[in-house]
Structure 1
Amino acid sequence: MYQEHIKDIETTISNYFEGIFNGDVHKLNDCFHSSVVLFGDINGATYLKSKTDYLEGVKSRQSPKDLNETFKMKIIGLDIMGDIAMAKLHVPMLGYNYYDYLSLNKIDDKWVIVGKIFTHVA
């Protein structure tokens, strides 16, 4: 059973990576629950956004793909218990060395991101 969960979670995360890298807000929108909140720390500055604000930011910036960056995003760890999961990701892009922690939940038979915290590590 967990193998099926792993595959489905990896698909959601892959879509998340592709959405970020390509600036595809439609793909990102499908990855997130409507009530998701995104918290982070970027060089000591607190980052807090709603899904709508986050997607607007992605839409208004140049994507890593447009900037000819190399895709280096990867899953570092995954912990699944029932219909919840935590994923630790390495997301280097746009001159930052981001680490994301995603909370995922299986809702209506689909794995979605219900929370995101992240930081930049110099």
Structure 2
Amino acid sequence: MSDEQAISAVVHLYVDGMAFANEGALRKAFHPDAAIIGNYQGALEWMTRDGFIKAILDTGAAPPGTQPEMDVQMIDITGDAATVKVIDSFAGERFSDYLSLVKIDGRWLIVNKIYHLHAQ
């Protein structure tokens, strides 16, 4: 599997994990020390991976059979570092997510997520 394919697989884990409140998928996609940062409802939100996962689980899963929105705009890879821009939806809100990934022990992990919430 190429690095681009491996990174795409991690992005799919992330988006599906959010859409279907799949804790295992989210834990597999994110490094334990990852940070999730963005402005949400007028305030800066700065979460840990576990805080982010809790927020996803508290919101709940999309109905079965739902096709999550995921539009990968860009993947940029340099050695063992990568950046991905993905447009996705969660709980009826549309986001632009900027994901930073690092290849650790042969496996790509999201180490940082910065997001922008689009106006409704």
TM over 0.5: yes
Shift of 1:68: 7.4
For the 8 Å contact 1:69–1:93, the answer to whether it is kept is no
Query: For each residue in 1:4-51, what CA deviation from the matched residue of structure 2 results, as whole angstroms up to 9, or x when unmatched?
Result: 110110011111111011110111001111110110112432111111
Partner of 1:113: 110
Partner of 1:89: 86
Matches within 5 A, 1:53-92: 53-63=51-61, 65-66=62-63, 70-92=67-89
- TM-score (norm: length of structure 2): 0.91
Secondary structure at 1:115's aligned position in 2?
strand
Amino acid at match of 1:10: S
Q: Does 1:39 align with 2:46?
A: no
Closer, same or farther: CA 96–68 of 1 in aligned 2, 3 Å: farther
Shift of 1:70: 4.5
Partner of 1:5: 3
For the 8 Å contact 2:59–2:91, the answer to whether it is kept is no
Structure 1 unmatched runs, 5+: none
Closer, same or farther: CA 70–7 of 1 in aligned 2, 3 Å: closer
For the 8 Å contact 2:10–2:109, the answer to whether it is kept is yes
Inter-partner Cα distance in structure 2 for 1:55 and 1:71: 17
Amino acid at match of 1:94: A
- TM-score (norm: length of structure 1): 0.89
